[in-house]
Chain A
């Protein structure tokens, strides 16, 4: 009963929850657009998504920051891939192709193919991405993680 009560408190007053969590995580998404530069050469620009259609390339950024006075140890970020997005790449991430049960480098993972036999996992099989920082986030420190996907 006590536990339930506390859960309710955390939902009802998020500010209180933040106060306890020194580390914050902010997610943003940008869309890749092909543009022509002043010389008419094609360049790729990242823009805030005003209009998004199937086939658009998305870049998800995760900004983390340790506002506390002490380092945060064993910092791990996990991001499930949204249902309508097909994963393409994640810098320095390990991935899961089974809904977050097992993890590894994509090249080392296998999934069951259409014929029932295991085959090498493809980026489109990825269900989750995860990063684990090798060193603690120092007090006042922060950084950015990112992964890419395509709107299915």
Chain B
């Protein structure tokens, strides 16, 4: 007998036993290896009327490890330019069991029913847990070498990075990330004797200890053409670049091809030896404030940024701002 075994303990001797295991309540349930200890006490009066107290035996029950994994992918398509390398999608892998468990990851890109297959598909772990992919910081994942070890309810963000082939606008590719408990997977209720955390068994939970979720890449064939011009107006109504002259920069972004660019953003830095002219940013002729949060524009001594939004092919947007030469 192994795992949640029980013991018909000897008489309660008033010591130890109570300290076994922890009782922290978690979403994932009692931590694997915790020992549930039960004793009862009876009291009665003997024939002479004296009260007597009798303890029961001690029953001990060890909680086994439940193996459960959850994987959650992005809700929306990841728009990627046709032919672009290193396009990133992200997933969250959760240990839904009650013991520390390493999770084995795999990604499948050659699924049927979609329009194309991304190539050079890799998995990275969000090692610095900042939610952003950085190839210099985040670890490339290799099965069995750096399986993320997750505590109960623990999560790991995982990036799938892939190269896009050439293709038509709107073509979609499906990829699937799978997470499996390293101890084992199977039908709910299957158990692995003695393999659970804390010395008990490991038991496959309702997820089969095997979960996956899908993400989609959607190709965009839209192409951006950027044009930056500058006009100078000096204090003497001329166009000499002298101290005190105002330079108006114009940034025109034209989208051609087909499809839509999502979350399009135009940024620029303030050139050295110039100062930003407060309140001078415009988008398509309309003034924007410098403050963040109130409209599409933000600006300051270091640079300007305008959040244009989704831009379809055929549209163009022009941002202007002014600086004064020191």
CB-defined interface of A29-65 with B at 8 Å, one 1/0 digit per residue? 1010000000000000000111111110010101010
Chain B interface residue bracket vs A: 35 or more
A31 neighbours in B (Cβ, 8 Å): 4
Chain A interface residue bracket vs B: 35 or more
A64 neighbours in B (Cβ, 8 Å): 42
A58 neighbours in B (Cβ, 8 Å): 61
CB-based contact B63/A78 at 8 Å: no
CB-based contact B4/A75 at 8 Å: no
A24 neighbours in B (Cβ, 8 Å): 54
How many Å lie between the Cα of A71 and that of B64 in the bound state?
Answer: 43
CB-defined interface of B1-24 with A at 8 Å, one 1/0 digit per residue? 111111010110110000001010
Whether, in the assembled complex, A121 has its beta carbon less than 8 Å from a beta carbon of chain B, the answer is no
A11 neighbours in B (Cβ, 8 Å): 13-14
How many Å lie between the Cα of A79 and that of B38 in the bound state?
Answer: 8
Closest chain B residue, CB of each to CB of A17:
B11
A152 interface neighbour in B25, B55, B64, Cβ under 8 Å:
B25
How many Å lie between the Cα of A76 and that of B63 in the bound state?
Answer: 30
B46 interface neighbour in A26, A72, A79, Cβ under 8 Å:
A72
A152 neighbours in B (Cβ, 8 Å): 23, 25, 29-30
How many Å lie between the Cα of A84 and that of B23 in the bound state?
Answer: 5
Question: Closest approach, in angstroms, between the C-beta of B180 and any C-beta of chain A?
Answer: 18
Whether, in the assembled complex, B236 has its beta carbon less than 8 Å from a beta carbon of chain A, the answer is no
Whether, in the assembled complex, B185 has its beta carbon less than 8 Å from a beta carbon of chain A, the answer is no
A84 neighbours in B (Cβ, 8 Å): 21, 23, 30, 34, 36, 63
How many Å lie between the Cα of A134 and that of B46 in the bound state?
Answer: 16
Total A-B Cβ pairs within 8 A = 138
Whether, in the assembled complex, B308 has its beta carbon less than 8 Å from a beta carbon of chain A, the answer is no
Whether, in the assembled complex, A28 has its beta carbon less than 8 Å from a beta carbon of chain B, the answer is yes
CB-based contact A77/B41 at 8 Å: yes
Whether, in the assembled complex, A9 has its beta carbon less than 8 Å from a beta carbon of chain B, the answer is no
Closest chain A residue, CB of each to CB of B52:
A21
CB-based contact B37/A53 at 8 Å: no
How many Å lie between the Cα of A101 and that of B19 in the bound state?
Answer: 22
Closest chain A residue, CB of each to CB of B193:
A51
Whether, in the assembled complex, A70 has its beta carbon less than 8 Å from a beta carbon of chain B, the answer is yes
B13 interface neighbour in A14, A20, A23, A54, Cβ under 8 Å:
A14
Known: A52-B62, A82-B38, A84-B21. A76 touches B43 (CB 8 A): yes
Task: Tell me the residues in window 165-223 of chain B with beta carbons closer than 8 Å to chain A beta carbons.
Answer: 191, 200-201, 203, 205
Whether, in the assembled complex, B113 has its beta carbon less than 8 Å from a beta carbon of chain A, the answer is no
Whether, in the assembled complex, B45 has its beta carbon less than 8 Å from a beta carbon of chain A, the answer is yes
Known: A84-B23, A152-B29. A51 touches B44 (CB 8 A): no
CB-based contact B42/A76 at 8 Å: yes
Whether, in the assembled complex, A25 has its beta carbon less than 8 Å from a beta carbon of chain B, the answer is yes
CB-based contact B61/A25 at 8 Å: no
Question: Closest approach, in angstroms, between the C-beta of B293 and any C-beta of chain A?
Answer: 34
How many Å lie between the Cα of A50 and that of B61 in the bound state?
Answer: 9
How many Å lie between the Cα of A58 and that of B59 in the bound state?
Answer: 12
Whether, in the assembled complex, B254 has its beta carbon less than 8 Å from a beta carbon of chain A, the answer is no
Whether, in the assembled complex, B39 has its beta carbon less than 8 Å from a beta carbon of chain A, the answer is yes
B2 neighbours in A (Cβ, 8 Å): 50
CB-based contact B23/A51 at 8 Å: no
A55 neighbours in B (Cβ, 8 Å): 29
How many Å lie between the Cα of A77 and that of B98 in the bound state?
Answer: 33
Known: A17-B11, A53-B29, A152-B30. A70 touches B4 (CB 8 A): no
CB-based contact A50/B14 at 8 Å: no
B14 neighbours in A (Cβ, 8 Å): 11
Whether, in the assembled complex, B66 has its beta carbon less than 8 Å from a beta carbon of chain A, the answer is yes
Closest chain B residue, CB of each to CB of A55:
B29
Known: A74-B45, A151-B29. A54 touches B203 (CB 8 A): no
- A-B residue pairs in contact (CB < 8 Å), sample of 8: A52-B4, A58-B61, A62-B40, A68-B46, A72-B44, A82-B38, A84-B36, A152-B25
Residues of A within 8 A of B (CB): 11, 14, 17-18, 20-29, 31, 48-55, 58, 60, 62, 64, 68, 70-80, 82-85, 137, 151-152
Residues of B within 8 A of A (CB): 1-6, 8, 10-11, 13-14, 21, 23, 25, 28-30, 34, 36-47, 49, 52, 54-59, 61-66, 98, 191, 200-201, 203, 205
